[in-house]
Amino acid sequence: MAHPSHNRRTFAIISHPDAGKTTLTEKLLLYGGAIHTAGSVKARKAQRSATSDWMELEKKRGISITSSVMHFDFGGIRYNLLDTPGHQDFSEDTYRTLTAADCAIMLIDAAKGVEAQTRKLFDVCRMRGTPIVTFVNKLDRPARDPLDLMSEVEEVLGLNTAPCTWPIGSGELFQGVYDRIQQAVLRFERSEKNAKPVPVTVSGIDDPHLAELLGEGPVETLRDELELLDGAGDQYNRESFLAGRITPVFFGSALTNFGVEPFLAAFATMCPPPGPHHAADELTIEPEDPRFSGFIFKVQANMDPSHRDRIAFLRVCSGTYEGGMRVHHFRLNKEIRLARAEQVMAKERQTVETAYAGDIIGLYDPGLFRIGDTLATGGPISFDSVPRFSPEHFARMVLLDPMKRKQMQKGVEQLSEEGTVQLFLEPGREKDPIMGVVGELQFDVLKYRMQQEYGANVELQRLGFEHARWVDGPSSPEDLVRARISMGVADVDGRPVALLRDDWELRRAQEDNPDWVFNKTAPIRAA
């Protein structure tokens, strides 16, 4: 019998803000059978209607702030879907989440093409060797020429394109897609409120009645474009796709469900099963390895405000998770018991008794876990660590009510451990910690959550720094200050970090201290 990991597919969705990522996520769940009726982010009245945005602030702003983990079964395959924040201010959470994915769906707005955040996230996928499937969205609105869009992907991202479906019109004239894999015209009919899978009429490109369905003009245009693609376009090749040299391209509209079903059917054959993971000492762990192993890529506090709990999301890399099992915690160098695990669908929880390589499970966290932690049976294992990225915005947190000191300390500790912010301490001013974030909007989230979840009203006093650099060489923050660096602080592991105002200060610090190494990222230490 096939190993259970062969029936697992774990993937992430990456996009620029407003490309329709949450909508596509919901429609994949709809076609995958995980939900029965699609509801918008703002209105989820049906009990089984579920989207990836669960936090109250996300609902108010209409954007994804945290990464969510969902699952559904389709065609005998268990899919673990990692929905990531589209907004660039939360890109670090996306970077970390991509470490747990075996494949990525790159979502592109058909009217806007390849946007800035898409390029950044694509670079992370390329760095990790993650294969990418492209879905060009919003064909129900006026769109750019599909050939121009593919040319832009190739020129901007340096990635060859292989169109697997092709749009028939756009905007109000969008009628469906031609499935180049199945060699079939799929004409869609709109469904009420776009809440159910759409009816599809199937026909061949040479069907004499096709003009009656689509109109003579659209049919002639479609045949001309397909002839051009057959002569000049790249063909899908699985080896090239897995090597990251080519991306299969699909067209559709997640909002109206047009093109989603053929996309999911093809994606089921393209998304690779779990692969090996590299550990310390040049050790490679295969998914079929009988011993259990996995790593924490996300920690989320207060997903259920009524319980004030913490969930650590673990990617299973090998073996089998079983409830109550004992594992070795590499960073703490001790054995612990995994008492409870859950799978999370928005706010819904389901207890997990067993899980296999490729699965994502949420572990109840009493304060034992950090991002990057490795858990395993059969002896210590340490997977390549998940990096911390250099913040670009900094603020000093000042408590407005001295009676809430303990609440503030708990909030700062938990939110920094889950990666919402990075915590730095200045010698002599430890009571007023410095918060570092990649994007400004994270400060709004920080203040909101400190107030709503921990009852601590705080003020964030912005600091004029642009760079944080972990410095190899000095032994303390005071050494940095003596070297005429604007501010020397310590991170949560006590490592000296230089805060610098601009590029000129960074260059000067490097020139004045040639024996020191200024690192832009800091691996999360495994021990």
- For 431-454, give the DSSP string: TS-EEEESSTHHHHHHHHHHHHHH
Using one digit for the tens of pLDDT, what is the confidence trace for 293-318? 999 988 876 655 555 678 889 999 99
Lowest-pLDDT choice from 135-144, 360-369, 397-406, 471-480? 360-369
Q: What is the pLDDT of residue 319?
A: 95
The whole-number average pLDDT for the span 504-522 is 92
Amino acid type, 283: L
Query: Going by CATH, does the domain composed of 277-376 fall within 2.40.30.10?
Result: yes
Q: Tell whether the model's pLDDT for residue 472 goes beyond 90.
A: yes
The whole-number average pLDDT for the span 112-118 is 87
Q: Tell whether the model's pLDDT for residue 183 goes beyond 80.
A: yes
CATH architecture of the domain with residue range 388-523: 2-Layer Sandwich (3.30)
E strands of 255-353, at which residues?
A: 277-279, 283-285, 293-301, 310-318, 320-322, 326-329, 334-337, 341-345, 348-351
Give percent above pLDDT 90 in the chain: 52
pTM as predicted: 0.76
The Cα–Cα gap between 21 and 64 comes to 9
Q: What is the pLDDT of residue 39?
A: 53
Please give the C-alpha separations between residue 502 and each of 82, 226, 457, 509, in angstroms, as whole numbers.
35, 52, 31, 11
Task: Quickly tell me which residue has 């000296």 as its tokens.
Answer: 496
Q: What is the pLDDT of residue 210?
A: 87
Amino acid type, 153: V
Tokens of 470: 């972990």
Q: Which carries the bigger pLDDT value, residue 32 or residue 489?
A: 489
Task: Quickly tell me which residue has 């020191």 as its tokens.
Answer: 516
Contacts of 82 (CB under 8 A, 6+ apart): 10, 11, 12, 13, 67, 68, 69, 97, 100, 101, 360
Q: Which helix (H) or strand (E) holds 472?
A: strand 467-472
In the chain the first and final C-alpha atoms are separated, in Å, by 38
Domain boundaries defined on the chain: 4-67+85-270, 277-376, 388-523
Q: What is the pLDDT of residue 32?
A: 81
Q: Tell whether the model's pLDDT for residue 375 goes beyond 90.
A: yes
Q: Tell whether the model's pLDDT for residue 71 goes beyond 60.
A: yes
How far is C-alpha 320 from the chain's CA centre?
A: 24
Give percent above pLDDT 70 in the chain: 86
The Cα–Cα gap between 78 and 24 comes to 18
Count CB neighbours of 33 within 10 A: 10
Count CB neighbours of 447 within 10 A: 17
The whole-number average pLDDT for the span 444-459 is 90
3-state helix, strand, coil in the chain (%, to 5): 30, 30, 40
pLDDT band for position 197 (cuts 50, 70, 90): confident
pLDDT band for position 275 (cuts 50, 70, 90): very high
Q: What is the pLDDT of residue 344?
A: 66
Under DSSP, is residue 36 helix (H, G, I), strand (E, B) or coil? coil
Under DSSP, is residue 210 helix (H, G, I), strand (E, B) or coil? helix
Task: Quickly tell me which residue has 């879907």 as its tokens.
Answer: 81
Sheet containing 487-490: give its strands across: 487-490, 496-500, 467-472, 517-519
pLDDT band for position 347 (cuts 50, 70, 90): low
The whole-number average pLDDT for the span 198-209 is 82
Q: Tell whether the model's pLDDT for residue 507 goes beyond 90.
A: yes
Q: Which helix (H) or strand (E) holds 59?
A: helix 56-61
Q: What is the pLDDT of residue 526?
A: 40
Q: What is the pLDDT of residue 470?
A: 93
Tokens of 302: 């207060």
Q: Tell whether the model's pLDDT for residue 90 goes beyond 60.
A: no
Could you tell me if residue 103 is left (phi over 0), alpha (psi between -120 and 50 degrees) or otherwise beta?
beta
Q: Tell whether the model's pLDDT for residue 56 goes beyond 90.
A: no
The whole-number average pLDDT for the span 365-390 is 83
Q: What is the pLDDT of residue 65?
A: 38
Lowest-pLDDT choice from 445-449, 487-491, 514-518? 445-449
The whole-number average pLDDT for the span 73-79 is 88
Q: Tell whether the model's pLDDT for residue 489 goes beyond 90.
A: yes
Tell me the β-bridge partners of 285: 277
**DSSP letter assigned to residue 520:** S
The whole-number average pLDDT for the span 263-284 is 90
pLDDT band for position 192 (cuts 50, 70, 90): low
Average pLDDT, the chain: 85
**DSSP letter assigned to residue 476:** S
The Cα–Cα gap between 369 and 419 comes to 12
Q: Tell whether the model's pLDDT for residue 479 goes beyond 80.
A: yes
Query: What is 4-67+85-270's CATH topology?
Result: Rossmann fold (3.40.50)
Under DSSP, is residue 333 helix (H, G, I), strand (E, B) or coil? coil
The whole-number average pLDDT for the span 275-281 is 86
Q: What is the pLDDT of residue 55?
A: 52
